[in-house]
């Protein structure tokens, strides 16, 4: 998978939030094989060290970071947060979130397009958290995005793919644009389904972090994503409405 000129062996991007401990987070990242981990920015008092300790842990993992603008509800907040993230993390990558609905954490796609254009013009490589809407996707590409991250379902809901038809249409409409399903994945089977649709990768967090055994679940997702991709590349058969015998009928014995 190639994202903004970076070749990645793993198609799994992993979030770093909500793990039981930093040690479990580190183990989960290793078990996932992910080369990209999402991070964020929050206030920290000068006497605290939690942010510094976290950053040290992530750097020790040797992964590429994808900072996000989580929690931003306006274009100004998102753009300023992106600039602050670039200042700390020294990467042009930004997972752009402009939230429009507080309950569903649904992207404000109008603000998203505007913020994406502003950031792309400023040299950012934008990973927009968007819906599966084709027109919005087209506007994001026009704004300078070279990766699209449609949601599977609302963030943290674990509901899987709410609109398979929409994601399939997005894949068909933009065959050459890297698509990462971001948010809503709850189980490895959801990730397999996404990968079988032909998306390029999956970004998930809660499904691993909140599992009973996050490290084991990280490994399960890694294998699921590999299996789903392999299945897509192997070109699955089309479903039929009626049975077709798999064992040859010719030569069947007459035993009635």
Partner 1 sequence: MHIRVNGVSHDLHVTDLAQALEVLGYRQAAVATAVNGVFVPAGAREQALLSDGDAVEVLAPMQGG
List binding-site positions for 1-deoxy-D-xylulose 5-phosphate.
156, 183-184, 205-206
Q: How many CB atoms lie within 10 A of CB 188?
A: 20
Catalytic-residue membership of 95: yes
Select from 66, 76, 199, 38 the least CA-distant residue to 125.
66
- Report the C-alpha gap between 95 and 119 in whole angstroms: 11
Please report the sign of the dihedral spanned by the C-alpha atoms of residue 148, residue 202, residue 129, residue 91: negative
Considering the complex, what minimum distance in angstroms separates the CB of residue 36 from partner 1? 12
Question: Does 107 help bind partner 1 (rule: CB under 8 A)?
Answer: no
Question: Does 44 help bind partner 1 (rule: CB under 8 A)?
Answer: yes
Task: Tokens 């309950």: give the residue.
Answer: 103
User: Judged by CB under 8 A, which of 43, 237, 250, 252 binds partner 1?
Assistant: 43
Considering the complex, what minimum distance in angstroms separates the CB of residue 215 from partner 1? 16
Question: Does 55 help bind partner 1 (rule: CB under 8 A)?
Answer: yes
- Report the C-alpha gap between 236 and 33 in whole angstroms: 26
* Cα distances (angstroms) measured from residue 228 to each of 59, 175, 194, 233: 30, 17, 8, 9
Set 11, 86, 95, 190: catalytic member:
95
Residues 141-160 that bind partner 1 (CB under 8 A): 155-156
Residues 4-33 that bind partner 1 (CB under 8 A): 15-19, 25
Question: Does 222 help bind partner 1 (rule: CB under 8 A)?
Answer: no
Question: Does 67 help bind partner 1 (rule: CB under 8 A)?
Answer: yes
């Amino acid at each position: 998978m190639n994202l903004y000129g970076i070749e990645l062996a793993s198609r799994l991007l992993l979030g770093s939030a909500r793990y039981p401990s930093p040690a479990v987070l580190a183990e989960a990242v290793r078990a996932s094989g992910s080369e990209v981990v999402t991070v964020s920015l929050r206030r920290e008092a000068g006497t605290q060290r939690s942010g510094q300790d976290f950053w040290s842990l992530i750097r020790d993992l040797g992964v590429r970071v994808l900072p996000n603008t989580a929690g931003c509800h306006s274009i100004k907040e998102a753009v300023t947060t992106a600039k602050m993230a670039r200042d700390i993390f020294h990467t042009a990558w930004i997972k752009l979130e402009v939230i429009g609905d507080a309950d569903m954490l649904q992207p404000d796609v109008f603000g998203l397009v505007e913020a994406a254009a502003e950031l792309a013009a400023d040299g950012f490589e934008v990973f927009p958290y968007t819906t599966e809407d084709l027109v919005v996707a087209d506007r994001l590409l026009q704004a300078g995005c070279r990766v699209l991250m449609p949601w599977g379902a609302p963030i943290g809901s674990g509901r899987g793919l709410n609109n398979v038809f929409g994601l399939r249409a997005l894949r068909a409409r933009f065959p050459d644009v890297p698509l990462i399903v971001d948010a809503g994945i709850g189980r490895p089977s959801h990730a397999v389904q996404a990968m079988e649709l032909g998306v390029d990768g999956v970004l998930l967090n809660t499904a691993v972090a909140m599992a009973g055994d996050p490290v084991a679940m990280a490994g399960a997702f890694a294998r699921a994503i590999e299996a789903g991709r392999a299945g897509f590349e192997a070109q699955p058969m089309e479903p039929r409405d009626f049975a077709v015998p798999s064992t040859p009928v010719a030569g069947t014995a007459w035993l009635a």
